[in-house]
Amino acid sequence: MNMHSADAETAEEAIAVQEKLDGNMATSMAMEETLLSPRFYTTDFAEMDAINVDPVREDWNHLIKRMVSDPNKGHFKKNEDWERVDWDGMEPNLKKEFIDFLISSCTSEFSGCVLYKEMKRRGSNKDITQLFQLMARDEARHAGFINDALREAGVAVNLGFLTQKKKYTYFKPKFIYYATYLSEKIGYARYITIFRHLERHPELRFHPIFKWFCEWCNDEFAHGEAFALLMKTDPKLTKGVNIYWIKFFLTAVYATMYVRDHQRPAFHEALGIDPAEYGQEVFAKTSELSKQIFPITLDIDNPRWNRNLVRMQKANVDLAEATGKAGLGAKIARMSARFRVAKAFIALYAIPSKTHQVPESTRLEPVW
């Protein structure tokens, strides 16, 4: 019987199904280059396993109950809403950027899956292992679905290969919380913004996968809720010197999104989205969400914010242009571009942030 990763109840099942499909598929060159980003993470699993969720028990049980009920089981697979995609007829730049978008999305879904699966495997705390098993399940389904889309274009991300060959970066648990929480919430904000935009402009939906973004981002929303609760169990994580770390992660996550999105002009043009405006909308939504747990938000309306994002993006374009070129001139160009990226980042970081009262309970609903 042919099972699909969308119906799998564990991450392991979903990955096995996907790997079978990729048996003899050639992994494209494009994929190898894009493998460099996003990253894979590892952490101090024993420290995470020691978390006691009793201080947030009520909200925790509510969230876990909903995840166990599995409203999206069977959702992440092609059905009659999946129209045929004319890959050969697609404008070459758009095709290249869109494939790049799918590969990097698939890799980051899978990066989450691997981290969550590992936590589940190494832990013995029932609350923690249950949560991470549920999140790994969702991410494996997401990655599998993107892989289905890529396979139609003759590309497949070999998930087993990725697990073995990717480099792992060690992050202390608290940095995992900040980075992963933000990536789940910004993931929600990105997907829901695109989904709502395409609801208003269905003629711009050049690929059927965007129809799945609504349920998709609800999964990411729930994952973000889980990390908010994990942070809530330890008030130190959002106080004192850690506020500087929170600001660092907020700035890094927002700036990275801005720079990466600007690397895909044809993709955004096809969707009828201006990456700068889209970025601002996503930052505003993410900030609104992150108030549930972080006592600060970035001042994204400060004129210095946009000015330095633009500077950073331009420096990044210059860096990309000088990369791979030989000679002293190119070397100087690279150094100068790196300096400008760092300077813009510091300028963004130096903008005073906004403070506010964090609510008693973190609980939020995906109402955007």
Which residues form the interface with Fe ion (CB under 5 A)? Answer: 109, 139, 142, 184, 220, 223
CB of 176 to Fe ion, least distance (A): 13
Spell out the residues 6+ positions from residue 225 whose beta carbon is closer than 8 angstroms to its own: 63, 362, 363, 364
CB of 223 to Fe ion, least distance (A): 4
Q: In the complex with Fe ion, which residue's Cβ is closer, 104 or 353?
A: 104
The burial of 301, by beta-carbon neighbours within 10 Å (0-12 exposed, 13-18 middle, 19 or more buried), is given as: exposed
Q: In the complex with Fe ion, which residue's Cβ is closer, 100 or 138?
A: 138
The burial of 308, by beta-carbon neighbours within 10 Å (0-12 exposed, 13-18 middle, 19 or more buried), is given as: buried
CA distance 44 to 58: 26
Give the SS3 label for residue 296: strand
CA distance 148 to 253: 28
Q: In the complex with Fe ion, which residue's Cβ is closer, 177 or 305?
A: 177
Q: In the complex with Fe ion, which residue's Cβ is closer, 109 or 261?
A: 109
Q: In the complex with Fe ion, which residue's Cβ is closer, 78 or 354?
A: 78
8 Å CB contact between 113 and 146: no
Could you give phi then psi for residue 296, rounded to 5 degrees? Answer: -130, 155
End-to-end CA distance of the chain: 39
CB of 105 to Fe ion, least distance (A): 9
- CA 16 from chain centre, in angstroms, equals 23
8 Å CB contact between 145 and 74: no
Give the SS3 label for residue 366: coil
- Best CA proximity match to 136, nearest among 114, 153, 158: 114
Q: In the complex with Fe ion, which residue's Cβ is closer, 90 or 131?
A: 131
CA distance 135 to 99: 25
CB of 194 to Fe ion, least distance (A): 14
Q: In the complex with Fe ion, which residue's Cβ is closer, 139 or 261?
A: 139
Q: In the complex with Fe ion, which residue's Cβ is closer, 41 or 345?
A: 41
CA distance 211 to 216: 10
CB of 143 to Fe ion, least distance (A): 8
CB of 138 to Fe ion, least distance (A): 6
CB of 340 to Fe ion, least distance (A): 33
CA distance 96 to 34: 12
Enter the DSSP assignment of 10. S
CB of 187 to Fe ion, least distance (A): 6
